[in-house]
Amino acid sequence: MSFFGLPQNDLEEERRKYLEGGAKEGDDDLQVFTWGEDNYDGLGDALQEGNDELNDETFGGIGQVGKDFDFSQPALPDFDKPARNAQDPGKDQVAAARQQQPQSQQKLQSPSPHQPLSAGSAGTSTRNAGQSLESIWDDKSPFAVLGRVNGASSTRPHEQQQPLLLPHHPQRQVLGVPTPPPSQPVSKFSPFLAHESHLLHQQHALQGHGARPRTLQEIEEEMLMALQAKQREEEEQQLQMERLQVLRHQQELRHRQELQRQEEERRLLEMRQLQQKEIQERLYEQQQYQRLLQYQQQQQPQQQRTPPPRMLPVSQSPRFLEHQRQQAAILLQQERQQQLLLQERDRQQQLLQERRQRQIQELLEQQEMERRMAQASLEDKHHWQQNEIRGFASEHQHRSFNTPSPARHLQQQLHQGRISQGAIPHENISLNQQQSLQLQQRLLADMTQNEFSRDLHGRNGQPIPQDLSAEAMRKIVEAEHQEERRRRKAHKIAHMARYNDLMTQSDKDFITRIQVSQLVTQDPYADDFYAQVYGAILRSRMGLQAHDERVIKFGSGGGIGLGLAQKGPNRRPSAMQRMEQQVERIVNNARKREEEKGLHSIQSLQGALGKTSGRSYKAAPRQLLQVESASPTLSPAHAHINKASVYNEGAAKEAAKLGLEALGDAHQTAEIVRRDPLTHRETLVILEKLYDFVLQVEQLRRDQPHADEDPEDFQHWQAEYDQTVDRIWENVNVLTPLETSTPHPFISLLFPTKGKKLLPRLTRHLSSDKMLTLLTLLVACFDQLDVVTLAPILDSLVETPERAEVERQTQAFLGSVMQSILPVVSVAELRLVTGLLSLLLHRTNIVAVAQTRPGLALLTLFLSRVEVIKQTVASGAESAVPTPEESQAWQMMFDHLFQLLAPHLLLLFPSTRIAHTNITGQPPAAPSSIDIVDQPVWQFLAALALHAVTEQHQILVTALREKVLDNVLSVNKGWVLDEEERQTKLANVNLFLHALGLDSSQIAL
């Protein structure tokens, strides 16, 4: 072939040869020849690149691009590779035997599109690949030719090329300019040339082997050639592999598409089978979902097959897949929407056409009937028309899959009952049916047109189609609406589900861990204090167990406060449980880690490189002066300042007193050093200290370990607890001698509201004898209490801040202090009660005390306790029966009390006192309130009456007659309008009268 003809030829041939595939092996020489051409430039590269995987990869990649282009040629679609594969070896042999392939043969074989994977290409790779790689191999590095000798000894036939190729070599090297190989006719793929060259090769081979010794250069080049050839073969192979993969992939894709299409078609067919409108709609809906489902099912296996997310590269992570899937689903939906739109249009068109046709039909019919032409022919014509219309209609219906057509509806109505209208599986059948329907219709028409032509008009005519079409229209619109709604819903769901499963369970766990770690605190109870206390109150109100603390504790400190228990069964509890479990797991893990750390004693290394300050210096400015206020030893520089302030006059006095006290102790005298009563400030300071201790004790109580579980721990705890309680006891100042000060320090502590409120919390931890001591002190100093001394303020109805304050204090006292001593008194023996009463009578002004609410409460408490004791004795309970002396002592003490109080009985009533002080006659703000404040007095009098003997009763009645009568009269005469007040008054009176064995109703007016 001529030099100039080559380019076109080359391309053509290249493709052909490539397509030919297996035949290439035959072109041994040809290939060799081609490589020989490349040899010049690829020399060095080849040597270097031998068995270099990276390079192979690189080149392979480039090669692949080229091939892809080639592959997109028409040869692609056919996929009969296996057959070719099978043929290849044989062909190979044949080709090898012949050594050369005529062009005609190549042409014959050209349809073969694919390269065999294994067969001939392994031996001698295709020229095509070489050609496509030419750009890479060509002229890249002139010095590559300088060549290296490598150990590969080759006796392959390739070496035969050498002599022929040699002449080009120096040329290029000298020029130093990359000259494109196509300029060499030898390099081209002309079979003729190849043939020639082959012949030449043979000659050379003969010469080389037989006659003359080869030069070093020759040998070198031979070796290089061999190497290059080998490498190229490898690359070729690789390329082919890749190409095959691509192909296979494409094929697969196409196959899948095909399948999908088929499926779609199948589905369409299915849809066509359904005839009734409602069923159609429903089915369509189902199918849509089904399709989605199917799609998902198709996708699911893929997803399942994907390895766990952590092992995947980023791009292939499940969320990526998921996303793709979602997008695909959306696309699908859009497609469907379009289809629906098209369908809709079809439907409408169809409707229009049908209506038109019906009109035409009717016209025809009318004409027919008017003219009264020959029936048979006319009928034929008419039915032909109808037939045509039907055909058209059905066609239409089938094209636009299964739209609810009025025509069909009409048919159904017309032929209802004549032909079963069940689901007809196939188009053919339905067509057949239609034909039969038409036949029947014709018969019908034959019959009816003779006799009931009018009737026929009515039935076949306009009214029915109109109604039906309207109906159909309505239904269509309805269906559209539904469809629209459904679509929107589906879209919304899809939209929401877009991010489904984006997070793995471990991700979620991780986040939970972060969140939970924020909740862990050293002291969950205190940090969540309000919630805990509120929860405790709520629980007690709901009647749940108080010990059910909503705190998760983690061994040595730290924990999480849980919220309140959920009311009612909802889904929150399970979430809470899950959370708790998680937290427990996390904490356990953390603990384990901690233990491991401990094992490896990493902590010993902590701080080895110096400490980091945990404190932010932004928050705390640098400390200029370092004064330790807690330590008494002061630096000399500051000593004088502090001395001046500390040892002021008051302090000096205090010191003197202390010295005196110490002196007194030293002298062992019983003389009591009087001190100034605690100032308000001191009281507050002590109270705050007490609060600290109380809180500490309460915390200890909560942390109380089980005595059985850990005795040592319990002992330790017990010691700490006792110590704290002792400190409380110290600070309460109960043991301070009575005469130390007035008021007594303990009473001073009860002045502030918080002191009163602290007492019940404090007494809970005190032992019973300590409590007794406390009670005794309290009774002994009862008139020192602010609530007693300030009680007269309450005997005024004028609202002043002072009164409000006293009222508040009194409430606090009754609510807290009395409550705290109640349990002690309620178990006290008669002797003790007698003692307490005598103490009260001797040490306090009982009349004044009795005129206060706290005093009355205390007295009532004593009296009722004795009454209880008396009753238990009377009932013969085995409890400690008081000795006669004790009873006698009590009676004496009671008589004394009665004697003291008798003259002032009326004054016990706040109402009387108010009346006395309030001479101006200012009406009380709230009338009923007087009766309410009187109530404790009535109660006390009732208690008094219970213990009183007959003479004392008489005294009582005489003293109180006026008061009683007053109350009863005011009720009976209707002076009191308020029903509630009346009730209170009566109840008050009765309270007292019942104690005497009387009732208000017995009083005759």
Partner 1 sequence: MDFQRSFNVTSRAAGRSATRIAISFREVGFNLDALAMDPSASGIQEPFDLIRLSLSERVFVKLRGDREVTGILHAYDGHMNLILSDAEETIMIVDTESAPNGQSVVNVAKRKMDMLFVRGDGVILVSPPART
The binding site for partner 1 (CB under 8 A) comprises 526, 529-530, 533-534, 537, 620-621, 623-625, 627-630, 632, 642, 645-646, 650-651, 654, 679-682, 684-689, 691-692, 695, 752-754, 757, 805, 815-816
Distances, alpha carbon 142 to alpha carbons 47, 135, 170, 172, 176, in Å: 14, 14, 10, 7, 6
To partner 1, the closest distance from the beta carbon of 694 in angstroms equals 8
Give yes or no for a contact between 964 and 995, defined as CB atoms under 8 angstroms apart. no
- State which residue, 565 or 841, has the beta carbon closest to partner 1: 565
Distances, alpha carbon 39 to alpha carbons 6, 166, 218, 223, 825, in Å: 21, 10, 12, 11, 119
Three-state SS across 714-740? HHHHHHHHHHHHHHHHHHHCCCCCHHH
- State which residue, 129 or 759, has the beta carbon closest to partner 1: 759
Distances, alpha carbon 670 to alpha carbons 272, 663, 666, 843, 979, in Å: 118, 12, 11, 20, 62
To partner 1, the closest distance from the beta carbon of 803 in angstroms equals 14
To partner 1, the closest distance from the beta carbon of 297 in angstroms equals 59
The burial class, CB within 10 Å (0-12 / 13-18 / 19+), for 821 is buried
- State which residue, 801 or 923, has the beta carbon closest to partner 1: 801
Tracing tokens 């009409």 back to the chain, one arrives at: 410
Say how far residue 252 (Cα) sits from the centre of its chain: 41
d(CA 140, CA 31): 21
- State which residue, 453 or 696, has the beta carbon closest to partner 1: 696
- State which residue, 563 or 815, has the beta carbon closest to partner 1: 815
d(CA 473, CA 352): 11
Which residues lie closer than 8 Å to 299 by C-beta, 6 or more apart?
A: 321, 325, 328
- Quote the Cα angle for 984-986-989, to 5°: 110
To partner 1, the closest distance from the beta carbon of 759 in angstroms equals 12
- State which residue, 510 or 529, has the beta carbon closest to partner 1: 529
Instruction: Please give the structure tokens belonging to residue 430.
Output: 């339905």
- State which residue, 571 or 615, has the beta carbon closest to partner 1: 615
Burial 488-515 (b: 16+ CB within 10 A, else e): eebeeebeeeeeeeeeeeeeeeeeebee
Helix (H) or strand (E) holding 559: strand 559-561
To partner 1, the closest distance from the beta carbon of 734 in angstroms equals 17
- State which residue, 438 or 935, has the beta carbon closest to partner 1: 935
Instruction: Please give the structure tokens belonging to residue 163.
Output: 């002599």
- State which residue, 89 or 752, has the beta carbon closest to partner 1: 752
Task: Using only the alpha carbons of the chain, give its radius of gyration.
Answer: 57
- State which residue, 741 or 851, has the beta carbon closest to partner 1: 741
Phi-psi region of 114 (alpha: psi -120 to 50; beta: other; left: phi over 0): beta
- State which residue, 56 or 654, has the beta carbon closest to partner 1: 654
Helix (H) or strand (E) holding 220: helix 216-273
To partner 1, the closest distance from the beta carbon of 986 in angstroms equals 26
d(CA 793, CA 774): 27
To partner 1, the closest distance from the beta carbon of 668 in angstroms equals 26
Task: Give start and end residues of each alpha helix (H) in 875-978.
Answer: 884-901, 910-917, 927-947, 950-972
Give yes or no for a contact between 21 and 116, defined as CB atoms under 8 angstroms apart. yes
- State which residue, 277 or 757, has the beta carbon closest to partner 1: 757
Residue 326 half-sphere exposure toward CB, CA atoms < 13 A: 19
d(CA 723, CA 731): 12
Q: Closest Cα partner for 71 from 250, 268, 208?
A: 250
To partner 1, the closest distance from the beta carbon of 738 in angstroms equals 21
- State which residue, 149 or 533, has the beta carbon closest to partner 1: 533
Residue 813 half-sphere exposure toward CB, CA atoms < 13 A: 26
Strand, coil or helix: 801: helix
To partner 1, the closest distance from the beta carbon of 550 in angstroms equals 16
- State which residue, 477 or 542, has the beta carbon closest to partner 1: 542
d(CA 889, CA 835): 9
To partner 1, the closest distance from the beta carbon of 753 in angstroms equals 5
Q: Closest Cα partner for 705 from 556, 564, 586?
A: 556
- State which residue, 379 or 805, has the beta carbon closest to partner 1: 805
- Quote the Cα angle for 410-412-417, to 5°: 140
To partner 1, the closest distance from the beta carbon of 614 in angstroms equals 16
- State which residue, 69 or 534, has the beta carbon closest to partner 1: 534
- State which residue, 255 or 640, has the beta carbon closest to partner 1: 640
Q: Closest Cα partner for 275 from 74, 411, 437, 123?
A: 411
Give yes or no for a contact between 775 and 836, defined as CB atoms under 8 angstroms apart. yes
To partner 1, the closest distance from the beta carbon of 740 in angstroms equals 15
To partner 1, the closest distance from the beta carbon of 713 in angstroms equals 26
Tracing tokens 């053509």 back to the chain, one arrives at: 12
To partner 1, the closest distance from the beta carbon of 896 in angstroms equals 35
The burial class, CB within 10 Å (0-12 / 13-18 / 19+), for 1005 is exposed
- State which residue, 526 or 660, has the beta carbon closest to partner 1: 526
